Amino acid sequence: MVVRNKARLGFCQKEGIDYEETFAPVARLEAIRILLAFAASKGFKLQQTDVKSAFLNGFIKEEVYVRQPPGFESARFPDRVYKLRKALYGLKQAPRA
């Protein structure tokens, strides 16, 4: 039984041509430890959350063009490619957007 399917675009990007860096900015471990120590000393409660669509909300700096996925082609423009304005899952630039 299939519960969920996922598809990713951007699988054919080439390093140095389509993108330069592949890192996601994260907080340094020292900063997290300081935050936890401060919150514990003051009796603060901390919460965390995960924004599942965060990668889809960021604008990208590079020009990225995509073909229409099979089954989703426009009837009027079947051979058209599209310039992305925002990141997609699987896009190398998505974590930094």
CA-based Rg of the chain, rounded to a whole angstrom?
19
Contacts of 46 (CB under 8 A, 6+ apart): 35, 36, 39
Confidence bin at 41 (pLDDT 50/70/90)? very high
Torsion sign, CA atoms 80, 83, 88, 93: positive
The per-residue pLDDT for range 68-94, each reduced to its tens digit, is: 888 888 889 888 888 888 877 667 666
Q: What is the pLDDT of residue 31?
A: 92
16 vs 10: CA distance, rounded Å: 14
**SS3 at position 79:** coil
